[in-house]
Amino acid sequence: MKEIVSKNLCTGCTACKSICPKNAIEMIEDIEGFKVPLIDQKKCINCGLCQKTCPVINTKNNSSLNKCYAAYNKDEKELLSSASGGIFSLLANSILNENGIVIGAMLDSNNMLKHVAIRNKEALKNLKGSKYLQSDLGNIFAFIKENIKNNKILFVGTPCQVAGLKAFIKQDYNNLYCIDLICHGVPSPKLFYKYIKELERKNDDKVINYNFRDKSIGWEIYSNKIIFEKRTTITELARNNYYMQLFLGDNALRKSCYNCNFKLGNKYSDITLGDFWGIKKKYPKIYNKKGVSAIIINSSKGQEMFEKIKENLIFKSCYKEDIIDGNLSLIESAGFSKKREYFFDDLDKLNMKELSHKYNNISLWRRIKHKIKNVVFRGKR
């Protein structure tokens, strides 16, 4: 077999790699910095399992409860340390309290974003907060399959990652719970690592912590906060941050993000989480300037999870359409950029400032300011 699915449609979910009985598939980094499957033709036996498993090829519409809430965590400390309303930490703690396993994305010591499994509350802080780039799933699907029979497991990721997991495990385990995040699209990790290296060279210091959603000056107008090894700290408004400008400019996204198969109506998760943009206008009585989450319940298991945490929430039932108004990414893919090809040609040639000046402009920035209120990616609430 030469190709599983068109590279333009591949989400990099790793389901094909995980299902291969001969370990003939590896996820390699392409020239744009995205992980794609590579088949070792010498090992491949043409069994077709990879194509039968691929969630893009086998996508189907799913029935969803679509019960919706606006909510935030009563614990102010948890609320401030979360990207929006502090919902993810409550859901994760509920699983950990039952000696379960929580799996989500964290930046490692080299600022590489990877999915990891944790079993204790101390480690939960590493999974909280939004991370605006695509995570490396590694062998996490195989880990889940090995542990699912004896453990409750909570997996959180992008909609395509959840779809990939469900396609791989093939059956609905009662003790597997999945959360997906309202996703605008995934930018190239290569762009983020380029930005980190430039910061380190400029400051002659190593970046040890990167917070994409620092709420020190508020939830609605947030900052990127970068901490260096020698404790120097840089805080930039998202609109002034070169990486965020380029991410939200739509030139740096994975090709599959321009034609996403996993919007509302085709959700494989139990709960969808994101920011409730527009809450102040829609439901002013529940507005909190420190953050409010939009919660969409997609299954009976999702409702079960919500019932377990609701006593720790300030919440209100709401209409799905009110969430969509501030989060068009729930129903629409990112708009394809005609400049995308040129952008990736320039990625290795220009520095971040040059890239930003070349691929951002005033009219684009007007759209970006709107998107900052409409986009949540690889974050944890």
The pLDDT score that the predictor gives to residue 377 is 40
Per-residue tokens: 244:
């965020």
Asked if the structure places residue 57 within a domain, the reply is no
304 closest CA partner among 181, 180, 171, 174: 174
Domain tally for the chain? 1
The pLDDT score that the predictor gives to residue 361 is 54
Asked if the structure places residue 360 within a domain, the reply is yes
The pLDDT score that the predictor gives to residue 380 is 41
The pLDDT score that the predictor gives to residue 364 is 47
Count the alpha carbons within 13 Å of 24 in the hemisphere toward its beta carbon: 19
The pLDDT score that the predictor gives to residue 65 is 77
| pLDDT, tens only, 284-295 | 999 999 999 999
Asked if the structure places residue 339 within a domain, the reply is yes
Spans of the chain, pLDDT less than 70: 1, 61-63, 361-381
CB-count exposure of residue 252 (10 Å: 0-12, 13-18, 19+): buried
Distance CA 318, CA 124 (A): 29
Q: Compute and round to an integer the Cα radius of gyration of the chain.
A: 20
Distance CA 107, CA 130 (A): 11
Asked if the structure places residue 281 within a domain, the reply is yes
Range of the domain at 258: 62-381
The pLDDT score that the predictor gives to residue 117 is 98
The pLDDT score that the predictor gives to residue 1 is 64
Asked if the structure places residue 331 within a domain, the reply is yes
Asked if the structure places residue 39 within a domain, the reply is no
